[in-house]
A and B are shown apart, each in its own frame.
Chain A
């Protein structure tokens, strides 16, 4: 607990002024424009949008600039901003099958409808520092193919036809959808709520949990069924119109993980699913999320809940980096009164301890 303190106004104002100055850096270097951040720090912008849980590249770019590039501080700014805006409603569920994908890969089928499209990827690069970039070299214009991309149906649909993968839970008409931003997290959490929490969860935390399942803490034998990245149209039905308005396109990353399942008394052996999605180009996050989604479905498949990644309370209560940082960082705020009380207590205990020790020494003599 901390209690209010008074004073320090001038120090605080000067500290913030100093922060502004430090943020600007060397004034001999050109000021960073939001367009530069938005266009050239794309994956950082995407991550702040995903974890800030608000798709708005310009806003995320501004938050990144204001936060001096600190992701969690930028997420904090974005989340604070969203609280100032009214909620118009919920979108029509996005049709990711109709995504105009610029990347789509599958690790389970070599030849699949629509093919494997690498898109702009770090995969297969040699991870050698490119000093030409430091010299300001302009990259060549990308190649174009005159062959049009064919439609890319979800890979899991292929397994679905054989009945070898669990069918995805169907939508019940008008069934309520959990919303973390309207009602606090409650356990046991349904899958829709878990997915929402994971979608805005910290990439590092979700990545570590996903990794832990691969290393044996809640083993699930995953395969990447598919990863796709591209533009998806978002539609919204305003009450006053009564038809779906296309709001525009957002970039989404989607990952479907497939894991083997031995079967149970009631279910035949089959493949089961884990799902991940992120705003922008968030491949690592979407993959890790899909692993954790599957791990969290342990109860559903009658698996023992033994590992952290399978424990929904552990995962969901700690995956939000803003909540985590709020509680960790509050420790630096004044706890003077609290500490005085602790100090008094420790002094008293120490005196008692020393008195007991002296008594014991006397008795021994």
Chain B
């Protein structure tokens, strides 16, 4: 993967986990591009989620997840794409705009606007993990007194 692909992938992961309000705020912060063509109007669809037998074996189909996708093209020619869980079309379109902007000279602004969302997601995950960690047990077998 190229560097820009890695950056886009990482930003897409943030947008997918962000709320619609967070993405809209990020976009407003850097300024919505005035001219953007809707290459593909936001569309809800399905992706069949796969897992592996035994966690690491051959793949099988577990069930579908609902996904919304969108594609936009900026006046400067960059194409932005979004695929994310759920059925929020505005969120998908906003995420596609951010993906397009990330490929322009304004990439640093996009990264800066996504940074607080990234932090919020990380903090949520850490809190969940700390709460789970508090339920970690050490089962012990009772000594039978044979020694």
A: residues with CB less than 8 A from B are 49-50, 53-56, 58-59, 82, 85-94, 96-97, 100-103, 110-111, 115-120, 142-149, 154, 156-157, 168-172, 175, 177-181, 191-193, 195-196, 199-200, 231, 233-234, 236, 238, 240-241, 243-250, 252, 254, 256, 273, 275, 277, 279
Complex Cα distance, B56 from A145, in Å, reads: 30
**What is the minimal beta-carbon distance from A331 to any residue of chain B, in angstroms?**
29
B128 to chain A, nearest CB (A): 6
Task: Determine which of A54, A93, A103, A119 lies in contact with B65 in the assembled complex, contact meaning CB atoms within 8 Å.
Answer: A54
Judge whether A148 and B47 touch: CB under 8 Å.
Answer: no
**B50-68 interface with A by 8 A CB criterion:** 50-67
Q: Are A149 and B51 in contact (CB under 8 A)?
A: no
* A55 touching B53 in the complex, CB below 8 Å, given contacts A86-B45, A88-B47, A118-B137: no
A92–B49 Cα gap in the complex (Å)? 7
Contact (Cβ within 8 A) B47 A91? yes
**List of 4 A-B pairs having minimum Cβ-Cβ separation, nearest first:** A168-B57, A248-B85, A145-B133, A246-B13
7 interchain pairs (CB within 8 A)?
A: A87-B46, A91-B50, A94-B62, A145-B130, A241-B81, A247-B84, A250-B49
Please give the distance in Å from A149's CB to the nearest CB on chain B: 5
B87 near A: Cβ within 8 Å?
yes
Which residue of the partner chain B has the closest CB to A142? Answer: B131
Q: How long is the Cα–Cα vector from A169 to B54 in the complex, in angstroms?
A: 9
- B100-132 with Cβ < 8 A to chain A: 125, 127-132
Which residues of chain A are within 8 angstroms of B137 by Cβ–Cβ distance?
A: 115-118
Binding site for A on B (CB under 8 A): 1, 5, 8-9, 12-13, 16-17, 43-67, 69, 71, 81, 83-87, 125, 127-141
> How far in angstroms is the closest Cβ of chain B from A200?
6
A234, chain B: closest CB distance, angstroms? 5
Question: Cβ of B129 and Cβ of A89 under 8 Å apart?
Answer: no
Is A145 within 8 A of B84, CB to CB?
Answer: no
Residues of B within 8 A of A275 (CB): 53-55
Take A56-B65, A82-B46, A148-B129 as given contacts and tell me if A154 and B83 are in contact as well, using a CB distance cutoff of 8 Å.
Answer: no
Contact call A179/B61, Cβ cutoff below 8 A: yes
Distance from B31 Cβ to chain A, minimum over Cβ atoms (Å): 25
Residues of A within 8 A of B9 (CB): 243-246
Q: Is A143's CB under 8 angstroms from B134's CB?
A: yes
Residues of B with C-beta under 8 A to A143: 131, 134
Cα A110 to Cα B136 in complex, Å, equals 12
For B136, list chain A residues within 8 Å (CB): 115-118, 145, 147, 149
B50 touches A94 (CB 8 A): yes
User: A85–B53 Cα gap in the complex (Å)?
Assistant: 27
Complex Cα distance, B13 from A146, in Å, reads 26
Q: Which chain B residues border A279 with CB–CB below 8 Å?
A: 62-63
Beyond A171-B59, A175-B58, A234-B65, is A117–B48 a contact (Cβ under 8 Å)? no
Contact A88 B87 (CB under 8 A): no
- Contacting pair A93 B51 (CB below 8 A): yes
CA distance A96 to B57 in the complex (A): 11
Q: 18 other contacts beyond A117-B132, A241-B81, with CB at 8 A cut-off?
A: A54-B65, A82-B64, A87-B64, A91-B50, A93-B59, A116-B136, A118-B136, A119-B135, A144-B131, A149-B136, A156-B54, A168-B52, A171-B52, A171-B59, A175-B58, A177-B61, A200-B63, A234-B85
Contact A90–B130 (Cβ < 8 Å)? no
Interface contact B141-A110, CB-CB below 8 Å: yes
Which residues on the B side are within 8 Å of A59 (C-beta)?
66, 87
Instruction: Knowing A93-B52, A149-B136 are in contact, say whether A88-B129 is a contact too (CB < 8 A).
Output: no
Do the beta carbons of B53 and A56 come within 8 Å of each other?
no
Whether A103 lies near B132 (C-beta < 8 A) is yes
A144 near B130 (CB under 8 angstroms)? Answer: yes
A236 near B53 with CB under 8 A, answer: no
